[in-house]
């Protein structure tokens, strides 16, 4: 990988009004968040729409992985989560809780 850039734009954040003792979304203090995340790898771009819930992350959760294969980005579902998987290696770029992300656009400069 030569150049890697990632940006995030919030479209919607539902505030948590459950009280100061409750911290939803792994401490983020919101119920739902919808955002666009853009990824640039060399001259290839992907825009991913992420729609989260207030559920906490648990060790048994499955994840979707964004990776670059050739000239195309793809979301790989149900791969075995590995503690040694380093993002930026093996063309894996990001990880999302399963079912929360989808690629909405991709293009090459």
Domain of residue 57 covers 4-108
Strands 101-108 and 72-77: unpaired
Q: What tens digit of pLDDT does each residue of 48-84 get?
A: 999 987 667 777 788 888 988 878 899 987 655 555 5
Number of structural domains in the chain: 1
Q: What does the pLDDT average to over 95-108?
A: 91
pLDDT digits (tens, 9 = 90+) for 3-15: 567 788 989 888 7
- Conformational region of residue 27, where left means phi above 0, alpha means psi within -120 to 50, and beta covers everything else: left
Does residue 2 register a pLDDT over 90?
no
Contact 46, 75 (CB under 8 A): no
Supply the pTM of this predicted model: 0.76
- In 3-state terms, what secondary structure has residue 23? coil
pLDDT digits (tens, 9 = 90+) for 14-28: 877 776 666 666 566
């Amino acid at each position: 990988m030569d150049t890697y850039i990632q940006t995030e734009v919030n479209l919607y954040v539902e505030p948590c009004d459950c009280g100061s003792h409750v911290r939803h979304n792994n401490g983020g203090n919101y119920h739902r968040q919808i955002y666009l995340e853009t990824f640039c790898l060399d001259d290839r771009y992907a825009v991913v729409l992420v729609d989260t819930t207030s559920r906490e992350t648990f060790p048994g959760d499955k994840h979707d992985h964004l990776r670059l294969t050739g000239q195309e980005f793809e979301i790989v579902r149900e791969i075995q989560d590995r503690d040694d998987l380093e993002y930026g290696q093996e063309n894996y770029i990001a990880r999302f809780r399963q079912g929360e992300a989808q690629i909405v656009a991709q293009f090459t400069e």
